[in-house]
Amino acid sequence: MFGLGTTELLLILVLVLIIFGAGKLPQVGKSLGEGLRNFKDGMKDGSADKKNGENDRIDQGKS
């Protein structure tokens, strides 16, 4: 997993606990999970649009 060993993961966990505190840790995890879910949904929508032949071009009309 990215070349991280047990010691490095424990050190990162301790630093996160110090920075955010134990009370805010569930909120941070929830926000991170929602962000990842939204990103994955966006990627799925984008690939579905490309399969359907929709283009993301902006109309460059004369003004």
Identity of the amino acid at 54: E
> ∠ at Cα 52 (46, 55), nearest 5°?
65
pLDDT, residue 30, reads: 93
Predicted pLDDT of residue 59:
57
Q: What percent of the chain has pLDDT over 90?
A: 32
Given the structure tokens 């995890």, which residue do they identify?
Answer: 29
Is pLDDT larger for residue 52 or for residue 35?
35
Query: Dihedral (C-alpha) 36, 17, 3, 38: value to the nearest 10 degrees?
Result: 0
Confirm if 17 and 25 have CB atoms less than 8 A apart: yes
Against a cut of 0.85, is the pTM above it?
Answer: no
In single-letter form, the type of residue at position 31 comes to S
